[in-house]
Amino acid sequence: MNSMDDDISSSENDEPPGTGFTQPSLPGILLSTAFPSKDPFRRHATKKMRAAPRRSVYTGVISFTVKTDPHKRACRANSNAFVSGERALHFRREHFPGISDREWNDWRWQLANRIRDLAGLERILCLSDEERRAISEHTGSLPVAFTPYYASLLDRTDPLQPLRRTVVKSGGENLVLQEEEADPLNEDGDSPVPGLVHRYPDRVLLLTTGFCSVYCRYCTRSRLVGNHGTETGYNMKHWEDAAAYIEQHREIRDVVLSGGDPLTLPDGRIEWLLERLRRISHVEIIRIGTKIPAVLPQRITPALVRTLRRYHPLWMSLHFTHPEELTPETALACGRLADAGIPLGSQTVLLKGVNDSVETMTRLNQGLLKIRVRPYYLYQCDPVQGSSHFRTTVEKGLEIIAGLRGHTSGYAVPHYVIDAPGGGGKIPLLPNYMENRDGANLVLKNYKGNLYRYPDPVSPAQAKHPSGDARGEAL
């Protein structure tokens, strides 16, 4: 085993701000270490640049045109360079005119230049009075912060644009209802050691960091993330304690790395974690929960992918919210992960005014399949404090599932679940397709509402109904 210090020494230049391993860095300081001159990714990309034809859209260091399907186009892009979609290009020219392709496509530059104060927000968005007030009054965890890349997807003038609502604080967050909790899933109550949640019999959740590249306004862990105290609260001592706990509990076969966002950690830290877990013989699979491909796709570098693929079986749960997140950049990032043999599932939170329609969810899920991501979970929004403006009814969620099932590919239909308040775990919800029982037949309703009978043998218990007849009443 490498010592912790040995292991991290080669990756110090990858250190993003606020990951719990450095003191918070000023962007300027970070930038000075952001471009190691011997970075193999850059050397290779530069070589490719000489060979590639220059057309209309930059790919980081080469160019190509995005006129056809952006997803196909992204997948054809050079394997080491990165892409920029039209939207990001326009945004960069307007707001970061002096920034090169190389800088823009460097994830450390993106992190160091996050938009995270009122002045920065005012430069790129026309804030409403309500947004301005909510942001300027903000204190504590879950600050407003997002990458320049994600900023390029936001509407400059419309506070109700779905993506903008998910990252720009509004007055709705200040309303806290009685049924809302700071820790609605009682994760703290199921934590045997700091940063480890052990709720289900055979799997655990390891909170690796309190840092995210973008802070979602509906975050279930809003009590933890983006809070200076907790960003520095998770450290390798906590990771080692969590690993020791997993080692002692042989029933744990599945470890989910979450946070915060684990992929904001430098490669060396991620590798340390994966290597440490892989040395525990009863850990069968490792999963990483991340929003990075949607908000900072530049982070999915060839070097990171090479690291990840050494630790199979490795799965990933990606957090997507809306079809407007499905850009050429995201397609390339997901393509790199899928090519490395990492099964990709998406987790989406159902949000009022953001994605609560059959049409939006169909576009999102069909788009995800095109970039090889399987829609996995659709979550009813947790009753976390200040979330009432995002929460919609369960009836709406069921309507969306009914609008997907049968109407599009089964792979595009996620499991709709409520994570039970208080820590009961995920409970699946389905529209009712079973109308009643008619003797030995089940009466079922298909996706068009037509009724069909299925011969379902009655069980012995049903056959011995006191009346002496097989039961035929409606269920």
DSSP state of 323: G
Q: Which is catalytic among the residues 132, 370, 426, 445? A: 426
> Which of the ranges 215-223, 271-279, 297-305, 332-340 carries the binding residues for ligand SF4, by CB under 6 A?
215-223
Q: Tell me the closest approach of the beta carbon of residue 12 to ligand SF4, in angstroms.
A: 24
Q: Which is catalytic among the residues 116, 199, 372, 445? A: 199
Nearer to ligand SF4, 11 or 321 (CB): 321
144 near ligand SF4 (CB under 6 A): no
DSSP state of 403: H
Subset of 274-303 contacting ligand SF4 (CB under 6 A)? 291
Task: State yes or no: is 126 an active-site residue.
Answer: no
**Distance, CA of 13 to CA of 11 (rounded, Å):** 5
Given candidates 221, 223, 269, 352, which one binds ligand SF4 under the rule CB under 6 A?
221
Given candidates 66, 225, 270, 283, which one binds ligand SF4 under the rule CB under 6 A?
225
Task: State yes or no: is 426 an active-site residue.
Answer: yes
Nearer to ligand SF4, 291 or 299 (CB): 291
The 10 Å CB-count burial string (b at 16+, else e) for 11-26 is: beebbbbbbbbeeebe
Q: Tell me the closest approach of the beta carbon of residue 255 to ligand SF4, in angstroms.
A: 17
Task: State yes or no: is 339 an active-site residue.
Answer: no
260 near ligand SF4 (CB under 6 A): yes
Q: Which amino acid type is present at position 306?
A: R
Given candidates 75, 134, 163, 212, which one binds ligand SF4 under the rule CB under 6 A?
212
Kindly report the length of the chain: 475
261 near ligand SF4 (CB under 6 A): yes
Q: What is the dihedral of CA 346, 215, 217, 219, to 10 degrees?
A: 60
**Residues 6 or more apart whose Cβ sits within 8 Å of residue 327:** 70, 85, 87, 88, 153, 297
Task: State yes or no: is 132 an active-site residue.
Answer: no
Q: How, if at all, do strands 254-258 and 63-64 pair? A: unpaired
391 near ligand SF4 (CB under 6 A): no
216 near ligand SF4 (CB under 6 A): yes
Per 3-state DSSP, the chain is made up of helix, strand and coil in percentages (nearest 5) of 40, 15, 45
> Alpha helix locations (H) across 358-470?
358-370, 394-404, 460-463
Residue 240, judged by CB atoms within 10 A of its CB (0-12, 13-18, 19+), counts as middle
The label of the residue with tokens 């290779």 reads: 44
> Which of the ranges 151-159, 200-208, 256-264, 332-340 carries the binding residues for ligand SF4, by CB under 6 A?
256-264
Q: Tell me the closest approach of the beta carbon of residue 387 to ligand SF4, in angstroms.
A: 12
Region label for 388, one of left (φ > 0), alpha (ψ between -120 and 50) or beta (otherwise): alpha
Nearer to ligand SF4, 25 or 220 (CB): 220
Task: State yes or no: is 381 an active-site residue.
Answer: no
Nearer to ligand SF4, 70 or 259 (CB): 259
Residue 321, judged by CB atoms within 10 A of its CB (0-12, 13-18, 19+), counts as buried
Nearer to ligand SF4, 81 or 225 (CB): 225
Report the interface residues with ligand SF4, using CB under 6 A. Answer: 212, 215-216, 219, 221, 225, 259-261, 291, 319
Catalytic amino acids? 199-200, 203, 212, 216, 219, 221, 382, 419, 426
